[in-house]
Amino acid sequence: MLLTTSRTSISYLARRTDGAISAALLQRVTCSSKYAQVRGHADQSKSTERRVVCTGLGLVTPLGCEIEEVWRRLTEGECGVSAIESKEFSDLPSRIAAFVPTGTEPGQFDETKVASKGERRNILKAALFALDCADRALNDSSWKPVTEEDYERTGIAVGTGMTGLDEIASTGHAFYTQGYKKISPYFIPKILTNMPTGHISIRYGFKGPNHSVSTACTTGAHSIGDAFNMIRRGYADVMLCGGTEASISPLACAGFARARALSTSFNDDPQRASRPFDKDRDGFVIGEGAAVLILEEMDHAIKRNAKLYAEVLGYGMSGDAYHITAPSESGRGAYLSMKTALKDAGLRPDEVQYINAHATSTPLGDAVENKAIKDVFLSHSKKLQVSSTKGAVGHLLGAAGAVEAAFTVLSVFKEIAPPTLNLYNVSCDKEFSLNYVPIKAQEYCATKGKRKIALTNSFGFGGTNASLCFGSIV
């Protein structure tokens, strides 16, 4: 059924707000339902879009893997960046990274619980991260399909920005030095970027949309936005979506270093290296991890009494059409992405309270995003809270947009803006005049009773951009 919001939703929302549904919202609900009823079932493919909510989160990050512990560490200003001890990195100009903590303790990533020894030989680390996140998200959401229709209406959209460079390099070396028979029959499926989605689908039997995105550092946000569209347009009722990345290798770091993208000034003080918006920023810190969000059609979630973290309100995309690695100094691409997300959500700029910025700690990237934010929000930009959580977890590449979307959902749910770490000296450029939530978390500045609304941005090589808009449940 493709009605936007049913009587079930209205009843639930009334309970959630003690009956205090705004007149505007009630009018929107009533009109949407009437509109869908008038059009009937003859044209369901074009019927009114359905509402989508987030009902579960799964995280594997440099701050750990348990939701509440990760959130606590994030908002208390802890940092997951450390020195790289391996000798393979010793000759590189950047020798710091944000690793996922591994082991058997609570909050650590334990690959032995994710897959058997035999399976792990043929699954890249990024796919193992995704499988772990999927399991955590499903448990958090309590989504347990029962009927065949449940399985057919549950889909997956999980992407990765880079494939296993070390796997490719070592296999290539084996082929050229030892010959054809040294190539594993699993080599090709192992390195395909859609395998995180494939492994999740196979493990859980989900037969709905099976989708994978690989758009550099915008991957996670695009995956979530595409999943959002699939649900609201009726292709699925539930989607597992997000991004995963495990690319901390000598070859990858050498490549980024040659592109002058990595921080090199803080090798002796790793936790100070990722410093978005700070005048001493000199590049990003490479990180690893994953996040999977459970998105669900609102009526579907309400009927099973699911926990509702936030509503997905809008999704925007754009292209810079400028350069393969550098953003346009005009900020036009980022501007269009945010404007499109707001338009898709039906929101005015002055209704947004918080932005989780893409800001990676690069001199040009942070400045361009800052300009775009000011161009979109104009005078309201002075009332915004803008932070970059990359100060705490580094830049997770293809997983960045997904992890930051999860942080944004939690920010809306808990009404707290996480801090920008290491922001002791805001850039000397006079254009850096916003509230970047330096060092310490802040409660949302929104007035009491006002809906909490946040944006999160992701931008990638090739000039690809995405913005997602989330709102508190009303």
Q: Residue 41 has what DSSP assignment?
A: G
Residue carrying structure tokens 């490479």: 286
The b-or-e profile of 43-69 (16+ CB within 10 A means b, else e) is eeeebbbbbbbbbbbbbbbbbbbebee
Question: What whole-number distance in Å separates Cα of residue 474 and Cα of residue 13?
Answer: 6
Tokens of 143: 């989504």
Taking each helix axis from N to C end, the angle separating 400-414 and 219-232, rounded to the nearest 10 degrees, works out to 60
- State the Cα angle at 298 between 37 and 60, rounded to 5°: 155
Catalytic (active site) residue 395: yes
Which residue, among 138, 135, 134, 115, has the nearest Cα to 125 in the 3D structure?
Answer: 115
Which residue, among 219, 224, 197, has the nearest Cα to 208 in the 3D structure?
Answer: 197
Question: What whole-number distance in Å separates Cα of residue 361 and Cα of residue 276?
Answer: 4
Contact 140, 376 (CB under 8 A): no
Question: What whole-number distance in Å separates Cα of residue 336 and Cα of residue 347?
Answer: 15
Question: What whole-number distance in Å separates Cα of residue 141 and Cα of residue 56?
Answer: 4
Catalytic (active site) residue 217: yes
Q: How many CB atoms lie within 10 A of CB 88?
A: 13
Contact 128, 120 (CB under 8 A): yes
User: Considering 199, 300, 358, 469, which one is annotated as catalytic?
Assistant: 358
Q: How many CB atoms lie within 10 A of CB 209?
A: 20
Chain centroid, CA 182 distance in Å: 38
User: Considering 65, 79, 395, 469, which one is annotated as catalytic?
Assistant: 395
3-state secondary structure of 423: coil
Catalytic (active site) residue 133: no
Tokens of 121: 């030989």
Question: Residue 452: left (phi > 0), alpha (psi -120 to 50), or beta?
Answer: beta
C-alpha Rg value of the chain to the nearest Å: 22
User: Considering 133, 217, 253, 469, which one is annotated as catalytic?
Assistant: 217
Single-letter amino acid code for the residue at 31: C
3-state secondary structure of 170: helix
Which residue, among 463, 472, 460, 433, has the nearest Cα to 354 in the 3D structure?
Answer: 472
Which residue, among 361, 184, 178, has the nearest Cα to 271 in the 3D structure?
Answer: 361
Catalytic residues: 217, 358, 395
